């Protein structure tokens, strides 16, 4: 997520928050022309969410400072063990740490400050089969309502999470396939969540190969679209 500046014609960098570090992160950052990150938030410690974390190194070298990475207590042990060299400087190799670790928990919003203003990030605990995973709501502090919800891997949204996501401008939600799955939402489930949350718009993500893009797009409600690589979503701020 990037926050636009309140000043018309702003040409400086934007406050930028990234959720998860997928294995193809380098290509994604280059494709989106992301030159810096003000915060990274991890949903859970599966490989497809974390194994691109070393690609943050280029941004650290460019900007001369570590990137703050936020994750849950449940995610911490595996992430910190697997990528210890990213978080801890090594006297043996001489390589410095490139990331700062921070914990985040439901009910404890994190404010990320950056060049174009603040972004508030709130975590929600979701079901992901046998693994707990976080979803996130991102908003700007000047607006009490709206924002963007993001839940890429989940097959269950508890009431507390649904309450957090209710009324968002956009919900990017897992919709793996048409048939039920033990750890991911299926299409009917995702659409039902969007209705329950009264989300203004929905974006279906994590789509499996058996979901044809054009066929799916043709059958979805007008306010719901399938995601695709490079998709940009604009959410107006108050006064726009």
In this predicted model, what pLDDT tens digit does every residue of 4-62 receive, in sequence order?
A: 765 444 556 899 999 999 999 999 999 999 999 999 999 999 999 999 999 999 999 99
Which residues lie across from 224 on neighbouring strands? 202
DSSP state of 5: P
Backbone dihedral region for residue 42 (phi beyond 0: left; psi -120 to 50: alpha; all else: beta):
beta
Delimit the domains of the chain by residue range.
Answer: 12-103, 109-226
* Strand 201-205 with 170-174, pairing: parallel
Cβ–Cβ under 8 Å, residues 174 and 152:
yes
Would you list the DSSP string of 178-200? SS--SSS-BHHHHHHHHHHTT-S
CB neighbour list of residue 68: distance below 8 Å, 6 or more residues apart: 38, 39, 40, 99, 100, 102
* Rounded mean pLDDT for each run of 10 residues along the chain, 240 residues in total: 64 88 95 95 96 97 97 96 94 90 97 95 96 96 90 97 98 98 98 98 96 97 96 77
What one-character-per-residue DSSP string does 59-78 give?
HHHHHTSPEEEEE-TTTHHH
Two tokens at 95? 């390589």
DSSP-derived secondary structure letter, 88:
S
Give pTM, 2 decimals: 0.94
Give the bridge partners for 40, in sequence order.
18, 69
Question: The domain 109-226: what is its CATH number?
Answer: 3.60.15.10
């Amino acid at each position: 997520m990037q926050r636009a500046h309140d000043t018309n014609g702003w040409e400086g960098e934007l406050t930028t928050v990234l959720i998860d570090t997928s294995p193809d992160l380098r290509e994604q950052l280059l494709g989106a022309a992301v030159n810096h990150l003000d915060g990274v938030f991890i949903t859970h410690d599966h490989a497809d969410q974390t194994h691109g974390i070393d690609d943050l190194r280029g941004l650290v070298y460019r900007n001369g400072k570590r990137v703050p990475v936020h994750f849950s207590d449940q995610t911490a042990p595996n992430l910190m063990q697997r990528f210890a060299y990213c978080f801890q400087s090594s006297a043996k190799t001489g390589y410095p740490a490139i990331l700062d670790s921070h914990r985040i928990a439901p009910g404890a919003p994190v404010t990320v400050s950056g060049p174009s203003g603040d972004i508030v990030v709130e975590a929600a605990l979701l079901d992901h089969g046998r693994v707990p995973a976080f979803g996130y709501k991102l908003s700007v502090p000047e607006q009490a309502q709206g924002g963007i919800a993001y839940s890429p891997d989940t097959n269950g949204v508890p009431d507390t999470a649904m309450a957090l996501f209710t009324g968002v401008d956009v919900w990017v939600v897992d919709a793996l396939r048409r048939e039920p799955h033990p750890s991911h939402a299926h299409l009917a489930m995702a659409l039902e969540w969007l209705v329950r949350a009264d989300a203004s718009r929905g974006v279906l993500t994590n789509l499996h190969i058996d979901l044809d893009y054009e066929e799916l797009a043709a059958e979805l409600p007008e306010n719901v679209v399938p995601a695709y690589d490079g998709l940009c979503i604009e959410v107006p701020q108050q006064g726009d």
